[in-house]
Amino acid sequence: MLKFFFLGAALVAGTMFFPSQSRASEWGCQVLLCLSGDWQGTPSCHPPIYKLISATDNPGFHWPTCPQANSSGARYEPYEDCPAGWTAYAPVASEHGGHSLQSMCRAPASNVQQVLNGKMWNSNGGLRGNGHNDSGARTATVQIGDKTVQARVQTASSGGHGFDTTTYYEIARPRRAKPYYIEYNDAYGARQRSWFNLKRP
């Protein structure tokens, strides 16, 4: 709420000192102000955001920005950050040589606590799993914070001419409820980030 207030103050200040610019970017500033708060629960935000949702389907659409707050266009990040000690990666390469979205988290087995028969133990990178999933892949139950989750067990060669291998645990990254974000300067000039979705209430 405080961030929302400061952003509103910055936009009002921009209106006072740059009236012509403010008129030209009025919609962009409305969009920014609404997406920085609870736009679904604010009826006055519905018209500018519904206009935005409709406009995204237009050819050549450009995200409306607010120069007074130096706002960015919207960016898309569908997944939450991986847990500490885990690295995001894309499991499948595309046919054009690129990579898919980084939809998985991976960690060496030696860095992960595994739950075995109700007790936790630190894996030494061996191949001890405690089950298989429906596709036949090996799985293990691991501890992440205060949660236990099922992880897929993968073994990869460490490269070179030897036969050293490293065992990894892999888990799916959780999806964000708000997968889009915009960045802007608040009333103090500090760069802020707001996450949002465009689902109609």
Q: Tens digits of per-residue pLDDT, 71-126? A: 999 999 999 999 998 999 887 654 444 556 889 999 998 888 877 655 544 544 44
pLDDT for position 2:
37
Average pLDDT over residues 29-43: 95
Residue 127 is predicted with a pLDDT of: 38
CB 140 within 8 A of CB 153: yes
Instruction: Give the residue-averaged pLDDT of 57-80.
Output: 94
At residue 143, what are phi and psi to the nearest 5 degrees? -100, 125
State the pLDDT at residue 162. Answer: 55
The total of other beta-carbon atoms located within 10 Å of residue 27's CB is: 16
Spell out the domain ranges in the chain: 2-78+178-196, 87-172
**How deeply is 66 buried, as exposed, middle or buried, from its count of CB atoms within 10 A (0-12, 13-18, 19+)?**
buried
What is the residue whose two structure tokens read 């980030």?
193
Interval 8-16 mean pLDDT: 43
- The lowest-confidence range among 3-17, 41-55, 130-144 is 3-17
Answering whether pTM is above 0.85, one says no
Residue 15 has pLDDT above 80, yes or no: no
Q: Is the pLDDT of residue 32 over 80?
A: yes
Q: Is the pLDDT of residue 7 over 60?
A: no
38 is written with which tokens? 């609870």
Give the pLDDT confidence of 186-201 residue by residue, as tens digits: 999 999 999 999 999 8
Per-residue confidence (pLDDT) for residue 116, from 0 to 100: 66
CA dihedral in degrees (22, 25, 29, 31; nearest 10)?
160
